[in-house]
Amino acid sequence: MRDDQHRFLMLLGQLPARLTAEQAAWVLNCQAHDVPVLVGARLLKPLGNPAHNSVKYFATMEVLELAKDRTWLTKITNALGQHWKAKNRRKKGVAPFVPKDGQARPVGSPVQLHG
């Protein structure tokens, strides 16, 4: 938020009616990169029907109300935890299977059985 915007809002004595993703993240005490995860999980809904690559705004009143709901806070905490756990798991990859013959094979490669 620009300094002049901040001063104007301080004089007004209230938050703006719409929040950016970064501002919504501040209210929810999470990171700006977590907001798209919450939108994707349908736990946070942007205003209107924004295009996939456009700036998304969130209703301040709705974000503040949701922030008071312990059940919803638990849901977003779990959703974020699951998202980052899955992302880290994909990043690290799955350990290759090492059969008894000791030769590692890439994940998904067929295993030949000798009979």
pLDDT 10s digits, 6-17: 676 677 677 889
Whether domain 3-91 has CATH 1.10.3110: the reply is: no
28 CB-contact burial (10 Å; exposed 0-12 / middle 13-18 / buried 19+): buried
- Model pLDDT for residues 24-56, shown as the tens digit of each residue: 998 999 999 999 999 999 999 999 999 989 999
What's this model's pTM, rounded to 2 decimal places?
0.70
- Provide the pLDDT for residue 91: 82
